[in-house]
């Protein structure tokens, strides 16, 4: 299956193959649309190979703490979820953040509030980046096509174990349900796992509860400092058509793919727009944006939420600039629609 040959697969299957290529050994999960195909594909792997394991838990909270247990033993583990399940995962993700554990979760965003609809949304940005009681010391990757879903899922495992911060692949229902060609190439680098608990003969105390405010503050200050330092290596983004444009579109994920198509259509119509696509929503490329924005007269935020991406970006920039937005909470935004709005 691995090599240079392209395979025609569904997004959920692709994510499972990526986890396998990244060296994952066990998945804990609870079925929920639109991520169930990841669970089903991994369960098939586990049935075929005894070294791979699958545990269906009673809920997403249990799945998250199962992942933590495996990580403490030095086993690459992961889970998947969406919407209300993503909410339940915030407790174990917050613990992983506090304890600097390489927790990996693949999220398929779906419409809210609460259960909402099971198809598509970009409404889980706040939850992925800053959910739980912590400081948002996480890595959040946002793929925009099927090949990126594969590549960024592998990268998520590598960087989770390399930098020791919880890592989220923030996909969506359209991406996970879509079928297309993908190159299932093997990962060249699999960051080594270690037993977090260390030598069995030694007692290791990984504190998640602190009696004194000063003790917790000291740990947080250290983690925040390290996160800022490592962010320089983690941060990732993509730009298009910067040279001749005066207005900058900012979008991520599936919507960014539609924006790229719209840019080509607008260019043919004599209209030049630039595109900035954050690949990592957390950490965000704030330094790059601050250097980039003075050349533009306006930012246009395009997203399938009521402004979660816009809020994230505005909180990270210092430049005063005019803004506009195209918002459709829990609905797809197609290239033709973007073209009609901007031409």
The enclosing domain of 313 has a CATH number of 3.40.50.920
Q: Are residues 61 and 175 in the same domain?
A: yes
Q: Are residues 57 and 162 in the same domain?
A: yes
| 297, part of any domain | yes
Q: Are residues 227 and 241 in the same domain?
A: no
| 191, part of any domain | yes
| 314, part of any domain | yes
Is-contact 263 273, C-beta < 8 A? yes
Q: Are residues 224 and 244 in the same domain?
A: no
Is-contact 16 41, C-beta < 8 A? yes
Tell me how many domains the chain contains: 2
Residue 80 lies in domain = 6-234
The enclosing domain of 64 has a CATH number of 3.40.50.970
Residue indicated by tokens 């933590």: 68
Which of 172, 174, 157 minimizes the C-alpha distance to 102?
A: 157
Question: CB within 8 A of 200, min separation 6: which ones?
Answer: none
Q: Are residues 161 and 245 in the same domain?
A: no
| 1, part of any domain | no
Q: Are residues 126 and 48 in the same domain?
A: yes
Q: In residues, how long is the chain?
A: 343
pTM of this prediction exceeds 0.85: yes
Q: Are residues 247 and 306 in the same domain?
A: yes
Instruction: Please count the CA atoms within 13 angstroms of the CA of 23 that sit on its side-chain side.
Output: 18
Domain final residue pick, 178, 212, 234: 234
| 28, part of any domain | yes
Can you give the pLDDT of all 343 residues of the chain as single tens digits? 445 678 999 999 999 999 999 999 999 999 999 999 999 999 999 999 899 999 999 999 999 999 999 999 999 999 999 999 999 999 999 999 999 999 999 999 999 998 899 989 999 999 999 999 999 999 999 999 999 999 999 999 999 999 999 999 999 999 999 999 999 987 776 788 888 887 777 777 788 888 999 999 999 999 999 999 999 999 999 999 998 899 999 999 999 999 999 999 999 999 999 999 999 999 999 999 999 999 999 999 999 999 999 999 999 999 999 999 999 999 999 999 999 999 8
Q: Are residues 195 and 77 in the same domain?
A: yes
Rounded to 5 degrees, what are φ and ψ at 77? -130, 160
Domain final residue pick, 172, 206, 234: 234
């Amino acid at each position: 299956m691995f090599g240079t040959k392209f395979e025609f697969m569904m997004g959920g299957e692709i994510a499972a193959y990526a986890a396998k290529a990244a060296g994952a050994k066990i998945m804990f999960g609870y079925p929920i649309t639109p991520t169930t195909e990841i669970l089903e594909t991994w369960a098939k792997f586990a049935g075929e190979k005894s070294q791979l394991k699958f545990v269906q838990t009673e809920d997403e909270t249990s799945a998250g703490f199962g992942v933590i247990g495996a990580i403490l033993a030095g086993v690459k583990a992961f889970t998947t979820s969406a919407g209300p399940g993503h909410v339940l995962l915030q407790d174990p993700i917050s613990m992983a953040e506090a304890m600097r554990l390489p927790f990996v979760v693949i999220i398929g965003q779906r419409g809210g509030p609460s259960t909402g609809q099971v198809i598509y949304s970009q409404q889980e940005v706040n939850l992925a980046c800053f959910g739980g009681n912590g400081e948002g010391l996480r890595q959040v990757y946002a793929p925009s096509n099927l090949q990126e879903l594969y590549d960024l899922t592998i990268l998520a495992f590598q960087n989770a174990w390399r930098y020791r911060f919880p890592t989220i692949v923030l996909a969506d229902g359209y991406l996970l349900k879509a079928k297309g060609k993908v190159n299932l190439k093997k990962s060249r680098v699999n960051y080594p796992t270690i037993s977090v608990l260390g030598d069995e003969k030694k007692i290791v105390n990984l504190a998640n509860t602190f009696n004194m405010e000063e003790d917790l503050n000291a740990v947080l200050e250290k983690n925040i400092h390290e996160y800022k330092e490592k962010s320089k290596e983690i941060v990732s983004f993509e730009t298009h058509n910067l040279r001749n444009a005066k207005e900058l579109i900012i979008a991520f994920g599936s919507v960014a793919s539609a924006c790229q198509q719209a840019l080509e259509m607008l260019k043919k119509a004599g209209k030049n727009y630039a595109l900035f696509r954050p690949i990592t929503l957390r950490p965000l490329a704030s330094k790059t944006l601050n250097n980039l924005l003075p050349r533009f007269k306006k930012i246009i935020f395009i997203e399938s939420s009521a402004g979660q991406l816009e809020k994230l970006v505005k909180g990270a920039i210092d430049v005063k600039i005019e803004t506009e937005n195209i918002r459709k909470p829990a609905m797809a935004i197609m290239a033709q629609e973007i073209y009609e709005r901007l031409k």
